[in-house]
Amino acid sequence: MKTFLVRRFFAGILSLLGATFLVFGISQTTNDPLLLYAKPGGYGVSPEQVQALKEKLGIDRPVPVQYGLWLGRTLRGDLGNSILDEIPVTRKLRDRIPATMKLGIASWIVATLIGVPMGVLSAVKRATIWDYLGRGFALFGQAIPNFWLGIMLVLVFSVKLGWLPSATAGDGFISIKHMVLPVVVLGSATAAGYLRITRSAMLEVLDSEFVKMARSKGTGSSVVIWKHAFRNALIPPLTVSATLFAAFLTGALVIEQVFAWPGLGSLAVQAVLNIDFPLLSGITLFFVTIWVTINFLTDVAYVLIDPRIRLA
């Protein structure tokens, strides 16, 4: 088990390095960041100025060297300054993280509260109207393009009915009114994932010998479902949280764009469109760190919850 976790840990570190190096390499393949300052053949920038700028930004050195320097600075907690406005990347990230976290936590709670009970219901009441409703919801949630769902909800609830605001996070720490639509959009896809997994896990457990045994000795049906079956069926939905979180992160990129949500997703899109590479590297580092951490925690949870799981 230890070797398994150690291996996963190093795989995680490797992913982290790989992803940031990838972004780093790509950002440098073109000299575009320079063009943000100085368009050639238009603004009258002399070659000396270009050279000075290159030196200032440190992009006159080979990519691996730059990457090494960046890594060294990063380990000391300095992610450099954004090219666009010279604001430190760490500050930009710090400003944007809370909004994304709020959205993420709220969506995750909503998804869990909807997805897991509905999955149980749809497994227990198999082949009834509840099951069809649940499965229908799962199919919907996994097939619907989330940006489109967002836009359509804005159309109905903001444009036509005027009940909810269509964009931004609003004022104050938490503005429920502003959160409803993005949370519904992000939560529904995740809920669909939870539902599917909970349902199939429940079905499998309900079919097992110990549940039949519990039933046959006369245990009440709700005790069988919640105490015997549900507890054992919890493992797959718990351990799959990482994949669902992945879906959430990529969802945030798009959904924050739809709702002009002032989080990391919209910051990332801006950074991409401006080719602001210090900012991009910082955002990638943050996203991948979270991603890798959650993947690793999932692996740990796997081993802790169910030692029978083969350590592949």
Q: Please report, as ranges, the residues that interact with other proteins according to CB under 8 A.
A: 8, 11-12, 14-16, 18-19, 22-23, 26-27, 29-30, 32, 126-127, 139-140, 142-145, 147-148, 151-152, 154-155, 159, 200, 203-204, 207, 236, 246, 249-250, 253-254, 257-258, 268-269, 272-273, 275, 280, 283-284, 287-288, 291-292, 295
Q: Which residues contact 21 (CB under 8 A, 6 or more apart)?
A: 67
Residue 28 near residue 59 (C-beta atoms within 8 A):
yes
Rounded least distance, CB 147 to other proteins, Å: 5
Q: Which is nearer to other proteins, 111 or 258 (CB)?
A: 258
Rounded least distance, CB 26 to other proteins, Å: 5
Q: What is the sign, positive or negative, of the torsion defined by CA atoms of 276, 295, 247, 176?
A: negative
- Residue 119 identity (one-letter amino acid): G
Q: Which is nearer to other proteins, 61 or 126 (CB)?
A: 126
Rounded least distance, CB 241 to other proteins, Å: 15
Q: Which is nearer to other proteins, 230 or 287 (CB)?
A: 287
Rounded least distance, CB 174 to other proteins, Å: 26
Q: How many residues does the chain have?
A: 312
Q: Which is nearer to other proteins, 116 or 171 (CB)?
A: 116
Q: Which is nearer to other proteins, 26 or 69 (CB)?
A: 26
Rounded least distance, CB 201 to other proteins, Å: 9
Residue position matching structure tokens 């993420």: 104
Rounded least distance, CB 226 to other proteins, Å: 21
Q: Which is nearer to other proteins, 39 or 176 (CB)?
A: 39
Rounded least distance, CB 46 to other proteins, Å: 26
Rounded alpha-carbon distances, angstroms, from residue 203 to 69, 114, 171, 190, 197: 53, 18, 45, 20, 10
- What does the buried/exposed string (b/e) look like for 147-183 if buried means 16 or more CB atoms within 10 Å of the residue's CB? bebbbebbeebeeeeeebbbeebeeeeeeeebbbbbb
Q: Which is nearer to other proteins, 143 or 173 (CB)?
A: 143
Residue 271, classified by CB atoms within 10 Å of its CB into exposed (0-12), middle (13-18) or buried (19+), is: buried
What is the C-alpha to C-alpha distance for residues 249 and 104, in angstroms, rounded to an integer? 8
What is the C-alpha to C-alpha distance for residues 93 and 168, in angstroms, rounded to an integer? 18
What is the C-alpha to C-alpha distance for residues 154 and 101, in angstroms, rounded to an integer? 22
- Residue 201 identity (one-letter amino acid): A
